[in-house]
Amino acid sequence: MMRGAVHFDAVGARWTLFIGTAAQCALEEEHDKGFFAILQDAMPSVGLADVDDKAKMAAAARDLRIGTLRSFALHGLAKHHPGTSVAQVDDIIDDLGFKAFGEIIGAAIAAAADQAGAEGDKPAKKPRTRTRAPTGRP
């Protein structure tokens, strides 16, 4: 299982939502702004420092605009469900309801932020240096 993926059932199928690098870049292209700017515009009640708080993100995602929610879903489903159409995403949202699907999107965004934070928190490894062989001198 990919870290940061959120699994859910809707319209009689199992879905995997992952807002990884590809989804974030696709959102940036669609909205013509940076990923965190999209989040700020979509969820002004959440500060960027709160992105890794899954509970706050899930709660704030309920305030997302439907079109933005659909964009997150469309791009977040693309990795595991290539070719997913806007109509399919609409059916998923209609099946789950806006509130429940907003919580799924919020969890996926928080998981993506958590993944980025976990990778960024690892200390860089010190490069190995070659040791010199003894010269034979005391």
Residues 87-105 have pLDDT tens digits of 999 999 999 998 898 889 8
Residue that wins the pLDDT comparison between 48 and 82: 82
Report if residue 45 sits inside a domain.
Answer: yes
Q: What is the distance between the alpha carbons of residues 1 and 118, in angstroms, rounded to a whole number?
A: 17
- 131 pLDDT tier (thresholds 50, 70, 90): low
pTM of structure: 0.70
Q: What is the distance between the alpha carbons of residues 106 and 85, in angstroms, rounded to a whole number?
A: 21
Report if residue 107 sits inside a domain.
Answer: yes
Report if residue 138 sits inside a domain.
Answer: no
Report if residue 94 sits inside a domain.
Answer: yes
Tens of pLDDT, residue by residue over 61-97, are 666 678 888 999 999 999 999 999 999 999 999 999 9
Describe the crossing of helices 86-96 and 66-77 by its angle, rounded to 10 degrees. 110
- 1-8 average pLDDT score: 79
The range of the structural domain enclosing residue 112 comes to 24-118
Report if residue 123 sits inside a domain.
Answer: no
What's the confidence (pLDDT) of residue 119? 46
Report if residue 91 sits inside a domain.
Answer: yes
Q: State how many domains the chain has.
A: 1
